[in-house]
């Protein structure tokens, strides 16, 4: 390590994740790191005490997303969100565009598009059908 690199301030990765507001608590940050969900410069990290410094690129799997962050500065405290956002540059690519047609093959959990009047009958329509079948109609 050169003198310029050793002069850069370093910080524990779990503390930095907490200061940057990626997790709600330091213990959750430690679990995230120990679980293998964090990489520093493409190397998987399993120790919460791993130091990070400005210029490091973190890949973090958090909240069912993968975020790529470039560390700009170590944190001094867990402050408000605008202050936390100054600690990193978000390099995460934007999500792919959503299919405007919807329906099958779209986002999981998204309701399928259905033409008006198609699909399951309403209670009123079921009663009319029952009356027709029974010859009451």
Q: What is the pLDDT of residues 1-15, one digit of tens each?
A: 566 566 779 999 999
Q: Is residue 95 included in any domain, yes or no?
A: no
- pLDDT band of residue 25 (cuts 50, 70, 90) is very high
Given the DSSP bridges, would you call strands 10-12 and 57-62 parallel, antiparallel or unpaired? unpaired
Task: Please say whether the dihedral angle defined by the alpha carbons of residues 19, 22, 25 and 30, taken in this order, is positive or negative.
Answer: negative
pLDDT (tens digit per residue) in 40-64:
999 999 999 999 999 999 999 998 8
67 contacts 88 by C-beta, under 8 angstroms: no
Q: Is residue 132 included in any domain, yes or no?
A: no
Q: Is residue 14 included in any domain, yes or no?
A: yes
Q: Is this structure's pTM higher than 0.75?
A: no
75 contacts 15 by C-beta, under 8 angstroms: yes
Q: Is residue 78 included in any domain, yes or no?
A: yes
H-assigned helices in 20-101: 26-34, 81-85
| Containing structural domain, residue 11 | 3-90
Say how far apart CA 1 and CA 25 lie, in whole Å.
32
Q: Is residue 15 included in any domain, yes or no?
A: yes
Q: Is residue 116 included in any domain, yes or no?
A: no
Domain CATH for 83:
3.10.290.10
Structure tokens at 92: 């995460």
37 contacts 62 by C-beta, under 8 angstroms: yes
Q: Is residue 24 included in any domain, yes or no?
A: yes
Residue partners of 89: CB distance under 8 A and separation at least 6? 69, 70, 72
More confident residue, 2 or 105: 2
Q: Is residue 65 included in any domain, yes or no?
A: yes
CA 70 to chain centre: 16
Domain count across the chain: 1
């Amino acid at each position: 390590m050169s003198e310029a690199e050793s002069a850069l301030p370093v910080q524990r990765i779990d503390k930095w994740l907490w200061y940057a507001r990626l997790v709600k608590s330091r213990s959750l940050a430690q679990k995230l790191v120990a679980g293998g969900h964090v990489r520093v410069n493409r190397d998987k990290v399993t120790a919460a005490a791993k130091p990070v410094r400005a210029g490091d690129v973190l890949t973090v799997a958090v909240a069912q997303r993968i975020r790529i962050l470039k560390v700009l500065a170590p944190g001094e405290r867990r402050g408000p969100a605008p202050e936390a956002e100054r600690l990193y540059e978000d390099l995460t690519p934007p999500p792919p565009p959503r299919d405007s047609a919807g329906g099958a093959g779209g986002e999981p959990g998204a309701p399928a598009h259905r033409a008006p009047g198609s699909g399951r009958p309403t209670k009123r329509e079921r009663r009319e059908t029952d009356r027709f079948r029974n010859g009451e109609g």
